[in-house]
């Protein structure tokens, strides 16, 4: 009987997809608990690359059942595209994917509002997938849910009501012509026909599975510092990627979660706006971006790159209750003579005791660095911890000690076999 949460411990793109794929071999069920198609989780199997946005990365293991929890916001177009893409690759989805009745639907006006808001002054650098506006409607209690697809009259009434309101906003505030309600109705009524077979009472399903001794891996999207409560607000996403979100986002109670795995990249990246203390803006940043192929899996945007931030990861450990971590992309650091690790922040000449909650403060801190010697050897074929160069082990020991984390998994390449278990 076990439920394990896997959580991104920096600003997303830590390599969650790869590690979920590796671990899902040992789980019966993999469930996504928040976010939407803003996520891009990459899994490489043989020569084939899969980028999953909404469907859990466990779908690539044929014995695993996959679940999209109530905390996820679902764009029907993105979901159908993903289902078709998987089917075309010979992967069976029907009977293996179940979607919560309580998950909210992303509507065309959410995507439109996302892009309009991004063209204003309060630019977050979102993925443009309608995530923020959809969660606003969820918490504003006017959202449209998967369960509404089961009652056509109610669905139509809700879409008409929302469109009336949204068109007023679009026309009067944003001087946009507005959207056509009949087109949206047609699209969502069509979606209803395809999606019915996937809908399930997920809290009951997951809790019964635990009762029967089955194991569940809860796959977080985004990362801790993008959490709407605990991240670098307002430069965050609109959901709760942190471990607590796994309970509210699926209906599994906190006392049934047994373990929390954090995923950390051996350095740090961030996409979009907001403070990033260890960011490298010149040659070394370009070098990390090129060597790590740091371009967004969803939007293709270049990722901002910088050194590992142990102060930030220690904060992430606290917020999530991380039991152990997987360190990914360690191979990317093989090309550096010297590697820096941030061990704390200084602000106005004083060392900070706690991770600052104000982005104004965070954008002014000076990182305190320790400099380690690089190993300058290819490690991507190492199969065990013993095979790693001694300087690589020193680096791992250092980040582990400084962040207070226990390392259980080391990833030295994007492929399944490039994974070391400790
Ligand atoms: P996610 O959003 O956390 O699932 O991460 P992404 O898929 O957006 O980004 C991680 C990228 O790094 C993907 O292109 C992976 O294929 C790749 N990757 C994962 N682990 C490793 C690793 O250990 N080494 C290298 N070089 N690439 C990796
Ligand atoms: P995965 O799951 C990295 C970032 C966006 C932006 C902010 C808000 O692949 O790690 P949103 O569209 O969510 O309203 O954008 O969050 N962001 C991500 N950054 N990885 C992700 O997902 C992200 N999902 C959203 O770049 O800064
Ligand atoms: Mg990603």
Q: Is 44 in the pocket of ligand 1 (CB under 6 A)?
A: yes
What tokens does 419 get?
A: 């994974």
pLDDT at 145: 97
pLDDT band at 63 (very low <50, low <70, confident <90, very high): very high
The radius of gyration of the chain from alpha carbons, rounded to an integer in Å, stands at 22
Q: Is 221 in the pocket of ligand 2 (CB under 6 A)?
A: yes
Q: Which mutation among 13, 20, 41, 42 tests ligand 1's pocket best, with the greatest number of atoms within 8 A of CB?
A: 42
pLDDT at 406: 98
pLDDT at 193: 86
Residue pointed to by tokens 């069509």: 190
pLDDT at 298: 87
pLDDT at 329: 98
Residue 68's DSSP bridge partners are: 32, 99
Q: Is 219 in the pocket of ligand 1 (CB under 6 A)?
A: no
Cβ-proximal residues to 6 (8 Å cutoff; 6+ apart), any chain: 16, 19, 20, 23, 217, 218, 219, 220, 261, 263
Cβ-proximal residues to 136 (8 Å cutoff; 6+ apart), any chain: 238
pLDDT digits (tens, 9 = 90+) for 124-181: 999 999 999 999 999 999 999 999 998 989 999 999 999 999 999 999 999 999 999 9
Residue 200 phi, psi (nearest 5): -150, 160
Q: Which mutation among 32, 75, 226, 242 tests ligand 2's pocket best, with the greatest number of atoms within 8 A of CB?
A: 226
What tokens does 312 get?
A: 């930030």
Q: Is 41 a catalytic residue?
A: yes
Q: Smallest Cα–Cα separation from 418: which of 384, 375, 374?
A: 384
Specify the CATH number for 264-421; select among 3.40.50.720, 3.90.170.10, 3.30.565.10, 2.40.10.500: 3.90.170.10
pLDDT digits (tens, 9 = 90+) for 397-409: 999 999 999 999 9
pLDDT at 239: 98
Work out the average pLDDT over 224-236: 98
- The ligand whose atoms approach the alpha carbon of 271 most closely is 2
What 8-state DSSP symbol labels residue 332? Answer: G
Cα dist from 197 to 30, 59, 82, 149, 306, whole Å: 19, 17, 16, 12, 45
- CATH fold of 104-194 reads Adenylosuccinate Synthetase, subunit A; domain 2 (1.10.300)
- Could you check whether the bond before residue 234 is cis, i.e. omega within 30 degrees of 0? yes
Q: Is 411 in the pocket of ligand 1 (CB under 6 A)?
A: yes
pLDDT at 310: 98
Give me ligand 1 centre to Cα 297, in Å: 9
Over 90: is that where the pLDDT of 122 sits? no
Work out the average pLDDT over 27-46: 98
- The ligand whose atoms approach the alpha carbon of 265 most closely is 1
Q: Which of 13, 28, 75, 309 is catalytic?
A: 13
For residue 304, the SS3 value is: strand
- In terms of DSSP bridges, do strands 324-328 and 308-309 run parallel, antiparallel, or are they unpaired? unpaired
Q: Which atom of ligand 1 is nearest to the CA of 18?
A: 19
What 8-state DSSP symbol labels residue 266? Answer: S
User: Domain extents for the chain?
Assistant: 3-99+198-261, 104-194, 264-421
Q: Is 153 a catalytic residue?
A: no
CA dihedral 87, 91, 94, 95 (to 10 degrees): 180
Q: Is 60 in the pocket of ligand 2 (CB under 6 A)?
A: no
pTM over 0.95: yes
pLDDT band at 359 (very low <50, low <70, confident <90, very high): very high
Specify the CATH number for 3-99+198-261; select among 3.10.180.10, 3.40.50.300, 3.30.499.10, 3.40.440.10: 3.40.440.10
Chain-wide mean pLDDT for the chain? 97
């Amino acid at each position: 009987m076990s439920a394990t949460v896997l959580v991104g411990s920096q600003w997303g793109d830590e390599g969650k997809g790869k590690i979920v794929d590796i671990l899902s071999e040992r789980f019966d069920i993999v469930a996504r608990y928040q976010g939407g198609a803003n996520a891009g989780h990459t899994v490489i199997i043989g020569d084939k690359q899969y980028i999953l946005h909404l469907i859990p990365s466990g779908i690539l293991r044929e014995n695993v059942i996959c679940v999209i929890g109530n905390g996820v916001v679902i764009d029907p177009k993105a979901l159908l595209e993903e289902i078709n893409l998987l089917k075309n690759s010979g992967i069976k989805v029907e009977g293996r994917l179940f979607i919560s009745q309580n998950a909210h639907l992303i509507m065309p006006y959410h995507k439109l509002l996302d892009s309009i808001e991004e063209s204003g002054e309060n630019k977050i650098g979102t993925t443009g997938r309608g995530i923020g506006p959809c969660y606003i409607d969820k918490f504003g209690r006017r959202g449209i849910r998967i369960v509404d697809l089961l009652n056509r009259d109610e669905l139509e009434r809700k879409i008409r009501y929302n469109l009336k309101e949204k068109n007023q906003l679009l026309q009067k505030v944003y001087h946009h012509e507005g959207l056509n309600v009949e087109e949206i109705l047609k699209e969502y009524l069509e979606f209803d026909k395809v999606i019915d077979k996937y809908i399930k009472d997920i809290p009951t399903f997951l809790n019964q599975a635990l009762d029967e001794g089955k194991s569940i891996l809860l796959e977080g999207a985004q990362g801790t510092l993008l959490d709407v409560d605990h991240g670098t607000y307002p430069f965050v996403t609109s959901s709760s990627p942190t471990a607590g979100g796994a309970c509210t986002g699926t209906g599994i109670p906190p006392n049934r979660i047994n373990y929390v795995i954090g995923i950390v990249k051996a350095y740090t990246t961030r996409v979009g706006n907001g403070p990033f203390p260890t960011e490298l803006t010149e040659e070394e940043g370009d070098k990390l971006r090129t060597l790590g192929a740091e371009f967004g899996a969803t939007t293709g945007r270049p990722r901002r790159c910088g050194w590992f931030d142990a102060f930030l990861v220690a904060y992430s450990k606290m917020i999530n209750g991380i039991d152990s971590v997987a360190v990914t992309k360690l191979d990317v650091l093989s090309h550096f003579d010297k590697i820096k690790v941030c061990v704390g922040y200084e602000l106005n000449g004083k060392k900070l005791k706690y991770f600052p909650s104000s982005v104004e403060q965070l954008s002014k801190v000076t990182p305190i660095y320790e400099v380690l010697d690089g190993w300058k050897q290819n490690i991507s074929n190492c199969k065990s911890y013993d095979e790693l160069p001694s300087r690589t082990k020193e680096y791992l020991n250092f980040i582990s000690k400084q962040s207070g984390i226990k390392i259980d998994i080391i990833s030295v390449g994007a492929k399944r076999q490039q994974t070391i278990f400790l």
